[in-house]
Amino acid sequence: MKTILVCVAGITPQIITETLYYYIIEKKPPVWIDEINVLTTSAGKEVIINSLLKKESGIFYKFLSDYNIGRQKIKFNENSVIQLGGDSYIKDISTDMDSAIIGNEIVNFIKNMTIDKSTRIICSIAGGRKTMSVYLSLGLQLYGREQDILSHTLVSSDFESTKDFFYIPPVPKNIEIKDKNEKIIKIINTKDAKIVCSEIIFVRLRNFLNIKDELFYDDLVNIIQKKVDYCGTKLISIDLKNRALLLGNKKVILKPIEICIYNLFLSNKKKCEQEFCGDCTDCYMSLNEMRSQELYANLLEFYKFIYTENSGQYERLKESLKKDSKGDDFFSQNISKINKTLKQHLNPFEFAVYKISKIGKYNKRYGIYVDKKNILS
């Protein structure tokens, strides 16, 4: 799997080579970095290129030479240093507008970087303005996959503030620490340096959000907040007698068999032994599992709230279930009809929570995303 290091950086490019050093040299087992991308401002781009990527004296090339790594092994060149702000030519993040533009670009950059399933990205938040680090973290929360990593680089205090330290070289060397008048106040040796990358656990919202549209960052956050609010606070109850599905403050009328099938999924969820629903799908059922005598009996019990046991409608359903003559189509077709009706009455956020969802590629299983604590008896 191709590994891409994504860094935010300002006018201190040391963080790029320090992070690279940790993953390739220090970490056990090492993690090979195939490519580096750096997100920075116009001022930062100039410093990074002059410091790391000058053909003869660039620190990046010295690192490769010190550790016998071929120049073509890691893709990192001037095109890899991405100036944020585009035509706005943002030298530094000093206004709300600067922050909004850069935030939008960082989040969209991460979105695009996570399209290729054969890659993983390591996002380093150690450099640049704190604003940039926050947006990089948020971008990874929104679009990060299971294989992606959020990382923060920590360097020994004596070395993190000196402009002459970029990584721990294989042959130790002295570094002079000078005051503002260029007077030497201390000499430190690279053999005493320590570089550690702390990998940060983060919430991955990618599959939950499933947002494919190109949106500005503020709009994206508003949509996410609405979706989270719907998941966390919307209550659900069923009035079988009147065939009414009560979803938050909305009422949806379903056909008799549809309301009973929907209630099957809710009652199955309430029986689940898991205390918290979260992303648990233990209560989801395959079409084959739905065709059990126990579920048929439950379906008939619900049906009695609408039609009496002596009615023709009840008798016909009972007979067909007894013979198991309905087949898989009975459930799959009614699930489709239920979802079609729900979609007509609910907004997209509500529909995502209350629809009968399916998971799995081959032996699909069906269930409702809503948390069981929000199901009213």
Any residues with CB less than 8 A from the CB of 109 and at least 6 apart, and which?
6, 37, 39, 82, 139
Within-domain flag for 95: yes
Q: Which long-range contacts (CB under 8 A, 24 or more apart) does 277-280 make?
A: 277/370, 277/371, 277/372, 277/373, 279/208
User: How far apart, in whole angstroms, are the C-alpha atoms of residue 256 and residue 236?
Assistant: 18
> Is the same domain home to 175 and 260?
no
- Asked which of 225, 256, 272 is the last residue of a domain, the reply is 225
377 pLDDT exceeds 90?
A: no
Within-domain flag for 182: yes
Q: Taking all residues of the chain, what is their mean pLDDT, rounded to a whole number?
A: 89
**DSSP sequence for 300-337:** HHHHTTTS-TTSHHHHHHHHHHHTT-SHHHHHHHHHHH
- Write down the pLDDT at residue 373: 83
For the segment 28-46, the average pLDDT, to the nearest whole number, is: 95
> Is the same domain home to 240 and 129?
no
> What are the Cα distances from residue 271, in Å, to 103, 265, 335, 354, 371?
44, 10, 21, 18, 12
- Asked which of 225, 247, 278 is the last residue of a domain, the reply is 225
> Is the same domain home to 112 and 240?
no
Q: Are 15 and 8 in contact (CB under 8 A)?
A: no
Task: Determine which helix (DSSP H) or strand (DSSP E) holds 151, and give its type and residue range.
Answer: strand 149-155
Within-domain flag for 269: yes
Higher pLDDT, 367 or 323: 367
For the segment 10-25, the average pLDDT, to the nearest whole number, is: 96
- Write down the pLDDT at residue 214: 64
> Is the same domain home to 186 and 247?
no
* pLDDT-derived band at 87, boundaries 50, 70, 90: low
Angle at 35 between CA 69 and CA 31, to 5 degrees: 65
> Is the same domain home to 170 and 265?
no
- Write down the pLDDT at residue 235: 81
Q: Are 9 and 16 in contact (CB under 8 A)?
A: yes
- Name the least confident of 39-43, 74-78, 153-157, 213-217: 213-217
Range(s) of the domain holding residue 25: 2-225
- Write down the pLDDT at residue 313: 92
- Asked which of 225, 257, 288 is the last residue of a domain, the reply is 225
User: How far apart, in whole angstroms, are the C-alpha atoms of residue 316 and residue 69?
Assistant: 76
- Write down the pLDDT at residue 301: 93
Any residues with CB less than 8 A from the CB of 152 and at least 6 apart, and which?
124, 125, 126, 197, 198, 200
- Write down the pLDDT at residue 299: 92
Higher pLDDT, 240 or 220: 240
- Write down the pLDDT at residue 20: 98
- Looking at residue 375, what DSSP letter applies? B
Question: Token match 């695009």: residue?
Answer: 112
> Is the same domain home to 164 and 301?
no
- Name the least confident of 5-19, 141-155, 223-237: 223-237
232 pLDDT exceeds 60?
A: no
> Is the same domain home to 198 and 260?
no
> Is the same domain home to 323 and 292?
yes
Q: What is the pLDDT of residues 113-128, one digit of tens each?
A: 999 999 999 999 999 8
Length of the chain, in residues:
377
Within-domain flag for 298: yes
Which residue, 202, 201, 197, 200, is CA-closest to 23?
Answer: 197
Within-domain flag for 213: yes
192 pLDDT exceeds 80?
A: yes
- Residue 289: both structure tokens together: 């599992």
Within-domain flag for 34: yes
Angle at 212 between CA 206 and CA 216, to 5 degrees: 95
79 pLDDT exceeds 80?
A: yes
- Write down the pLDDT at residue 205: 83
- Write down the pLDDT at residue 247: 87
> Is the same domain home to 350 and 271?
yes
Within-domain flag for 230: no
Within-domain flag for 296: yes
* pLDDT-derived band at 76, boundaries 50, 70, 90: very high
Ramachandran sector of residue 168 (left: φ over 0; alpha: ψ -120 to 50; beta: rest): beta
> Is the same domain home to 170 and 260?
no
> Is the same domain home to 348 and 291?
yes
- Write down the pLDDT at residue 145: 93
Q: What is the pLDDT of residues 363-375, one digit of tens each?
A: 899 999 888 888 8
* pLDDT-derived band at 229, boundaries 50, 70, 90: low
Sheet holding 2-8, edge to edge: 81-83, 35-40, 2-8, 119-124, 149-155, 195-200
Number of folded domains that form the chain: 2
> Is the same domain home to 315 and 200?
no
Question: Among the ranges 100-104, 192-196, 202-206, 361-365, which has the highest mean pLDDT value?
Answer: 192-196
Phi then psi for 319, rounded to 5 degrees?
-65, -40
Any residues with CB less than 8 A from the CB of 303 and at least 6 apart, and which?
256, 257, 260, 313, 314, 317
